[in-house]
Structure 1
Amino acid sequence: MANMYCKWLAAVLLLCVAATGCGTVARNETSPSPQSHAGVRTQQVAPREAEVITPGQLTAHLERLAQGVRGVKGAHCVVLGNTAVVGIDVDSKVDRSHVGTIKYSVAEAFRKDPYGINAIVTADMDLNERLRELSEDIRAGRPIAGFAEELADIVGRIVPQIPRHITPSDTEPDPSKMPKA
């Protein structure tokens, strides 16, 4: 019985494959030639390349772009290679969700700009202040010293102070060597 069922199933499958193959009809149609449709014209357009500008010009451009977004009171930008870090100032009375919306709007404006596509946007007040100080140091002609100072400040805030790792100075009296009364 199982052998007869297998033969019947094989015959049905063979018939289905044969019927599917015969269903295609050869067509001798070709695509229309371009000369027959003179009214249709296309123009190939390459994506617009961004002009090469200096990091200072890029900084000013991205700051202006960010300040053009409603809710942004000020912006500070630092360019590192092909990435820009942009800090935005928003009103301190604005609630957190609205700050996120403003930050998203700035990022969206940057996405549409060929220079802002690789930008990082932050609304953190501390980071924005550090970006402001760093951009001032860069404008003053001391980018490496300014970066080192800001990096030291950031690391100083991250690294915890553990009392066990503090070595006593020579001016502090050692409690174990104090005379007992």
Structure 2
Amino acid sequence: MFKWLTSAIIIAIVATGCSTVARNETSPSPQNNGRVEAQQTEPRKKEIKNSEQVAAHLEQLAKGINGVTNAHCVVFGNTAIVGIDVDAKMERSKVGTLKYSVAEAFRKDPYGIDALVTADMDLTQRLNEIGADIRRGRPIAGFAEEMADIMGRLVPQLPRDILPQEPEKQEAPKMNKTL
């Protein structure tokens, strides 16, 4: 009985699988219709030619928002990352509102429209250090060091992966006995 039931289920699955065919006739493909064209509605990013000028501009723009005490900007290629400093005692919802206000001000700026804005204190400090390294003439080394620090904080430490350290074996001093 079990063999018959198993065989019937297998036949039903195979028959169901074989009956599925592509039904291209029910929905026309845009590739087959020559009149369908996609148009870009978003403006392209404005090319950043002088990253130091753009960074200073975006920092000043962020500092102009009431509640932002300082701002640090780093530009890599055509992308700007802006970290804002706020009062440490400020409520989280207020910090979110300030971050939104900065992003709103950047939306009206051709260089700031695609900028990334963060209010995280650790990331803001790291952006400050990367900017200082860039001004000292070591952009790649500074960026690599900070990325290593960030990755070190992101990678979790699992107790299972920790190997116990073996205590150092101290050998008793050998005595030179001659009889």
TM-score by length of 1: 0.63
1:92-130, Cα deviation, whole Å (9 max, x unpaired)? 121111111111110011000111011000001011011
- 3-state SS, counterpart of residue 71 of structure 2: strand
What one-letter code is carried by the residue in structure 1 that aligns with 2:57?
H
CA distance in 1, matches of 2:148, 2:89: 30
More helix by share: 1
Query: 1:150 matched to which residue of 2?
Result: 146
Partner AA of 2:91 in structure 1: D
Q: Residue 167 of structure 2: SS of its match in structure 1?
A: coil
Q: 1:166: how far off?
A: 3.7
* Residue 66, structure 1, aligned to residue 62, structure 2: yes
* d(CA) in 2 for partners of 1:51, 1:166: 48
Could you list the per-position Cα deviations for residues 43-89 of structure 1 after superposition, in whole angstroms to 9, with x for gaps in the alignment?
xxxx9x96864000011000000001111000000111111000000
Confirm whether residue 98 of structure 1 aligns to residue 94 of structure 2: yes
SS of the residue aligned with 1:117? coil
Q: Per-residue deviation at 1:165?
A: 3.0
Which of the two has higher C-alpha Rg? 1
Runs (4+) of structure 1 exceeding 6 A deviation are: none
Q: Using the alignment, how far apart are the partners of 2:80 and 2:133 within structure 1?
A: 16
Matches within 5 A, 1:157-168: 157-167=153-163
C-alpha separation in 1, matches of 2:124 and 2:96: 15
Q: Give the fraction of aligned pairs with identical amino acids, expressed as a percent.
A: 67
Residues 140 and 64 of structure 1, relative CA distance in 2, 3 Å threshold: same
State the Cα distance separating 1:162 from its structure 2 match.
2.8
The number of aligned residues is: 126
Q: Which runs of 5+ in 2 are unaligned?
A: 1-42, 170-179
| 1:44-83 pair list within 5 angstroms | 53-83=49-79
**Unmatched 5+ residue regions in structure 1?**
1-46, 175-181
> After the TM superposition, which of the residue ranges 51-60 and 121-130 deviates more from structure 2?
51-60
In the other structure, the counterpart of 2:7 is none
1:173 aligns with 2:142: no
Residue 140 of structure 1 corresponds to 136
* TM norm structure 2: 0.64
In 1: Cα distance, 2:55 partner to 2:148 partner: 23
